[in-house]
Structure 1
């Protein structure tokens, strides 16, 4: 099958309502915040629900450096983390692409694609199918909070033909 014949997924703007079945949007514009350190620092409080299951589970705080992808994107694989959530918080104001898929009987269904606003992050819920970190334009760094500890926390699924992800026409 030729790549132009693949099912097309249009990229949508990322909103809390549209993303709710898959996790949380991390956006300082909507966050509870208050002053600390004698008014010299603003704390944006409780931005994501960290989910951890399994023996010896502990949160990991990482930095991921993502190389940019080109659009249109040929989406061939999604993954999920059955033992914990995974939050991606950009360290720059560049938007990035988020691909998620609903689950049916343990298999990913037709994915959805979202484009973050500059500075928005996401917290992908535990056991939610999603694409890999997909930066656009430039190499980008992210603070990533996910699960460490015993157990296999990664499942991958490869689509037979895949999908084309791009902006609508």
Structure 2
């Protein structure tokens, strides 16, 4: 059986808005000088939401290994009780695969190509694939919800796809 191909599109704030926030030092973002003019602060770039059920924000590093080619997407996950932000720490592009919150609608899955310096913040409930490094092992700074002591809240649902697909990497260079 031949799996369908999906080509990634460039990651932009407008196209990604139904799924979350693009985190980047963009001229349209609110920004201003601090530290006696030595630093430009790009301010309030993502709606971090981790407080449901008294959650707390945690900062982690994720080390992502590229999937073997052809990159085949077989499942998505979501975090129903919090957002999850990823900021790449390296100089490689990476893939972002998302679908809107609610029941998983496979026809609404979108594939984006994120450039170095572009992070993403998935809104609570947004379906997404785990971080998809390209070409090399890549590190990401992640801000998400930490467990509250004694908590049994399930904040990660996985859903296998009825129709897996391959990401068309033709023309993507690192």
TM-score normalised to the size of structure 2? 0.86
1:49 and 1:84 map into 2 onto residues whose CA distance is 10
Match of 2:21 in 1: 24
Stretches (4+) displaced over 6 A: none
Residues 54-77 of structure 1: per-residue CA shift (max 9 Å, x gap)? 322111111111112344311101
2:19 and 2:82 map into 1 onto residues whose CA distance is 13
Residues 91-119 of structure 1: per-residue CA shift (max 9 Å, x gap)? 12311100001355x22423211001221
Match of 2:166 in 1: 164
Q: Which of residues 126, 138, 154 in structure 2 aligns to 1:140?
A: 138
Mark the runs of 5 or more structure 1 residues left unpaired by the alignment. Answer: none
What do you get for the CA RMSD once the two structures are aligned? Answer: 1.8
More strand by share: 1
Mark the runs of 5 or more structure 2 residues left unpaired by the alignment. Answer: none
- Paired positions, count: 165
Match of 1:50 in 2: 48
TM-score normalised to the size of structure 1? 0.88
2:42 and 2:101 map into 1 onto residues whose CA distance is 32
